[in-house]
Structure 1
Amino acid sequence: MSYKTIVVNLAVDANPAPIVKLATELAQRFDAHLVGFAAADVPPLVSTGEGLVYEGEVMQIARTEIEKRLAELRDIFENIVPNSISSEWTQYICGPTRALGIAARSADLIVTADGGEDVFRAVDIGSLVLGAGRPVLVTSGNAEHLLAKTVLVAWKDSREARRALSDSLPFLAKANEVVVATMETGPTGDVRNSLADVAVFLEQHGITARTEVIAGDADGDRLVAFARSIHADLIVSGAYGHSRLSEWAFGGVTRSLIDESGINRLLSN
């Protein structure tokens, strides 16, 4: 298994160079076709001193500004990506989360930086992971490189974790060290059996992994701390093992990982 098509999302309000460089390296590593992507939309209502109103002229100005920015992003993408890499550009005047979901139809992997609050100009990472049907690599900060030499797989015996494990195989196959870890408070017998099965699964794919049980309740901060202790630069995790509503209301590992910008995360649902 490999990633044959990678879509990289260039946020309209961020410096695109770091993530384009990172995605270019990934395309080289996996011999993949690279799709540069950017999208933004004009809010349907315009705020004025008299409240929210429809204003055609103002909306057209906003659309023109978006089109100008998309053209700039395309130029940057095409200038950074070398001719030796198969690549193309796509853009939408549309909410970026929805548009990325469309682009995901023909992609193996989506690469994006952290999202933002403005749904017209920034990706909602949670909604993207839930709706894209593809693994989403959320890069750390303004990272220009992702070596993924040490990868932490956050394991829980769930559909989402199994999906994430399979989706991450191309990274795991090229890693120097793979650590599969789970967080557990009760008896560890069944947990260790589950981890052993995962290790066998990976071995069948030519990947050697060690397993760890992290004592304590499932907690995203604890997971990230463990990742740093083993010098992992990529965490692989299933997303939203509980309902998304309960995770956002009461916290959860997924929310912690989405909020964590200091490490690369591969999320799958």
Structure 2
Amino acid sequence: MTYRTILVNLNIDGPVAPLIDFAIDLATRFNAHLVGFSAADIALPIAAPEAMIDGETMGHQREEIEERIKKMRHQFESAAGTNVSREWRDGVANPTRLVIEMSRVADLIVTGCEDDFTLGHSERFINLGNLILQAGRPVLVAAKDAKRFFTNTALIAWKDTREARRAVVDALPLLCQANEVVVVTVDKETDILAQESMSDVLAFLRRHGVTASSKIIENKHESESLVRFAKQMGAELVISGAYGHSRVRELIFGGVTRSLLAEDGFSRFLSS
């Protein structure tokens, strides 16, 4: 198993140089085809239904978006050069909707994380919740300003759920490159079911050539315990199932997913 196509989402308002380098490094590792992607939409004015839309203003917005995308494409193609197989895709449209549609071309989606990943201008930035929970592809959120992808130490945030099982399988190509892998679960108390679950995961990984150890943390505060342990072990990559629920028209994260994404000192790999 490997990644044949990687899509990197570049938010139009950047900065994007570190993320481009990060994606190129990752594509080079797997000899993968790299798809650069960027999109933004025209912001509609908030006005009464009978108000006229200013066509000139809308036209200026479109020109600004197209010019910014043009420069970003040049930046992406210049950085990639002939080192990797690559292509470019873009659009003047809602970026979250379009990148979800474009996920059909990729094995893996790479993106950055804004300081507040649930808010912001929906016409300029992707909604990470909708992307991760709707794309049907694993999403790798790069560590802040990271130019290279490091997997010396990887942590698997384990719970015996569909999402976590999916994440372990999706992350196998990365786990096979890691020097140290630790499977961690947090529970109020250690029981036989948790121990059996961990043993099965370790055996599954071992059959795929991944040597891992396990750690059961007895604590009722799952999010805080996971993040604290990840920092203590110096994890460069944290793998987790992504959990969320609906809130009217958008999808929002559960507590563990939200806490992991708030920590930008390591890369985060999420599947749903």
TM-score by length of 1: 0.93
Describe the SS at the equivalent of 1:54.
Answer: coil
Q: CA 1:63 to 1:157, structure 2 compared with 1: closer, same or farther past 3 Å?
A: same
Matched, 1:114 2:113: yes
Q: CA 1:147 to 1:153, structure 2 compared with 1: closer, same or farther past 3 Å?
A: same
Deviations 1:102-123 (A, max 9, x none): 1100100000001451111111
Deviations 1:25-77 (A, max 9, x none): 000101100001101001222579xxx86221111101100000000000000
Separation of aligned partners in 1, 2:185 and 2:166: 16
Deviations 1:230-259 (A, max 9, x none): 11111000011x6355xx889610121222
Letter of the 1:99 counterpart: L
TM-score by length of 2: 0.92
Whether the 8 Å contact between 1:113 and 1:138 is mirrored in structure 2 is yes
Separation of aligned partners in 2, 1:109 and 1:99: 16
Whether the 8 Å contact between 1:46 and 1:54 is mirrored in structure 2 is no
Q: Which residue of 2 aligns with 1:257?
A: 260
Q: Which residue of 2 aligns with 1:103?
A: 102
Give runs of aligned pairs for residues 1-269 of structure 1, distance below 5 A. 1-45=1-45, 54-115=53-114, 116=117, 117-240=120-243, 243-245=245-247, 252-269=255-272
Letter of the 1:132 counterpart: A
Whether the 8 Å contact between 1:125 and 1:258 is mirrored in structure 2 is no
5+ residue gaps, structure 2: none
Whether the 8 Å contact between 1:46 and 1:53 is mirrored in structure 2 is no
Whether the 8 Å contact between 2:187 and 2:222 is mirrored in structure 1 is no
Q: CA 1:47 to 1:220, structure 2 compared with 1: closer, same or farther past 3 Å?
A: farther
Deviations 1:4-23 (A, max 9, x none): 00001111111111001000
Report how many aligned residue pairs link the two structures.
Answer: 265
| Offset of residue 141 of structure 1 | 1.3
Moved more, 157-166 or 214-223: 214-223
Deviations 1:83-113 (A, max 9, x none): 0310001101111111111110010000000
5+ residue gaps, structure 1: none
Describe the SS at the equivalent of 1:200.
Answer: helix
Describe the SS at the equivalent of 2:230.
Answer: helix
| Offset of residue 267 of structure 1 | 0.7
Whether the 8 Å contact between 2:6 and 2:27 is mirrored in structure 1 is yes
Letter of the 1:17 counterpart: A
Deviations 1:155-214 (A, max 9, x none): 000000000000100000010011110001034221111000000100110111101011
Whether the 8 Å contact between 2:8 and 2:23 is mirrored in structure 1 is yes
Whether the 8 Å contact between 1:151 and 1:179 is mirrored in structure 2 is yes
**Aligned structure 1 segments of 4 or more residues deviating by more than 6 angstroms:** none
